[in-house]
Structure 1
Amino acid sequence: MSEWLSYRPQDFLMFSPRVYERLFVLHNEALWPAPLLALALGAALLLALAFPRPVRIRAGLVLLAAAWAFVAWAFLWQRYAPINWGIRYVVPLFALEALLLLGLGLRRGGLALPTGWPLPRGLGMALVAYAVFLHPLTAPALGRGLAGAEVIGLAPDPLAMATLGMAAMIRPTWQGWALLVIPALWCLASALTLHLLDSPGAWLPLLAVLLAGVARFWPRRTSA
């Protein structure tokens, strides 16, 4: 029993910081030039949310659904699961999020966003913009190099943050809460992993969850 008490949480990690960082480098190299296409599609999603029309919102939901399915297979299952056995239990949650997004995207009317620029929409747009344009820059900022950038649609963290941003903007209905749960859980798990790896960026996923939560709980006019 005393031996178990001598362990630290970091001792249960099955990989080193360098191995974790190499995941993204190898992933981007194998899929090149997909990171550039993913950035372009992320920018298109941001524009669709900035100038919402029903068809644009539905297209954005379908695009996010495809991204969740792709990340579940190409990154989590193919690359992350071999070094972290717990990830195999996360893959079905990503598939569930993809199905939820797809179902909402294909339903008539899609989702409603608030008119004007109330706080929830502002926070949501900020999260999406960060996930698309700024989060990839955290890799070189943290000394990992641009080759290890985490790009929306290819890596789970920016994808979860962008989905949190969309969920934060949706009018106060069950759809917004349903879209928020799985991305929030992933961000919390990612923050813990990064903390155990002593990464300076561990607070970023936590901040994304906090901002999305503030936006969801913010009082809204029923006509918004």
Structure 2
Amino acid sequence: MVGGAWWSYRPGDLLMFSPRVYARLFELHNQALWPAPLLALVLGAVVLVFLLRPGPRRTRLVVALLAVAWAFVAWAFLWQRYAPIHWGIAYLVRLFGLQALLLAALGSLRGGLRLPGHWNVRRGLGIGLFAYALALHPLAALATGRGLAGAEVIGLTPDPLAIATLGVAAMAEPAPRAWALMVVPALWCLLSALTLFLLDAPGAWLPLLAIAAALAARLWPAPKAPR
């Protein structure tokens, strides 16, 4: 009986927690940090305005805020809340720290990262990804049955932060630095999609769609410089 019991397992049994436990992560996180979710949304809206009307100083501020967010999420969410129920998350904390350092380096260098001021396909997809992460991704909690108490807020939880960073990197220049910024967010989105799939949760395709949109933006032919 023991030898034949393997076929009774479901994909979600590979995880060490249930969908309810996973949902409670976000509920407890928001409760512990309140009213930080409201502040995070306000700061996210400010960043969106900066993306719509970029400039050198605003770009450096955007990159600096993203660096702080990656460091904060690594410690407050991944290490404090997620790692105790998932042993593999402890290794990802270092990747989030590296992403924060990379962003901090680019934010402190003159000409470290540039954001376009004219509309094109890259900019449209990039701003669309950021706007989704800010305004729509928190509402996905309603579709999963968590309610807004379990909403995933940009700057406080990994998924919207990764999607927002993909949006910024999708339209940023120079290209080599932008590609480097996409690696860790894309890896996290892949892991998140797998986790949601194993939990049989709705929306597992959303992180994959974010990766696809960011890749499409980066691979889209660069607009020709005006003569």
What are the equivalent positions in structure 2 for 1:56-205 lying under 5 Å apart?
56-205=58-207
State the Cα distance separating 1:141 from its structure 2 match: 2.7
State, as a whole percentage, how many aligned pairs show the same letter. 67
Give yes or no for contact 2:52–2:117 (8 Å, CA) kept in 1: no
Which runs of 5 or more structure 2 residues have no equivalent in the other structure? none
Compute the RMSD of aligned alpha carbons: 1.6
Counterparts of 1:162 and 1:16, CA distance in 2: 27
Give yes or no for contact 1:160–1:187 (8 Å, CA) kept in 2: yes
Counterparts of 2:35 and 2:15, CA distance in 1: 31
Counterparts of 1:4 and 1:175, CA distance in 2: 49
Counterparts of 1:4 and 1:141, CA distance in 2: 33
State the Cα distance separating 1:4 from its structure 2 match: 8.7
The answer to whether structure 1 residue 38 and structure 2 residue 37 are counterparts is no
Counterparts of 1:173 and 1:132, CA distance in 2: 24
Give yes or no for contact 1:54–1:110 (8 Å, CA) kept in 2: no
Give yes or no for contact 2:133–2:164 (8 Å, CA) kept in 1: yes
State the Cα distance separating 1:30 from its structure 2 match: 0.2
Counterpart residue identity of residue 12, structure 1:
L
SS in 2 for 1:85: coil
Distance verdict in 2 for CA 1:4–1:73, change over 3 Å: farther
State the Cα distance separating 1:116 from its structure 2 match: 1.2
SS in 1 for 2:103: helix
Distance verdict in 2 for CA 1:182–1:223, change over 3 Å: same
Give yes or no for contact 1:120–1:168 (8 Å, CA) kept in 2: yes
SS in 2 for 1:92: helix
Task: Tell me the TM-score normalised to structure 2 length.
Answer: 0.94
SS in 2 for 1:201: coil
Counterpart residue identity of residue 47, structure 2:
L
Counterparts of 1:111 and 1:170, CA distance in 2: 7
Counterparts of 1:172 and 1:209, CA distance in 2: 19
SS in 1 for 2:16: coil
SS in 1 for 2:167: helix
Give yes or no for contact 1:57–1:110 (8 Å, CA) kept in 2: no
Give CA-to-partner distance per residue, 1:129-171, whole Å, 9 cap, x none.
0001111111023221100000001000000000000000013
Task: Tell me the TM-score normalised to structure 1 length.
Answer: 0.96
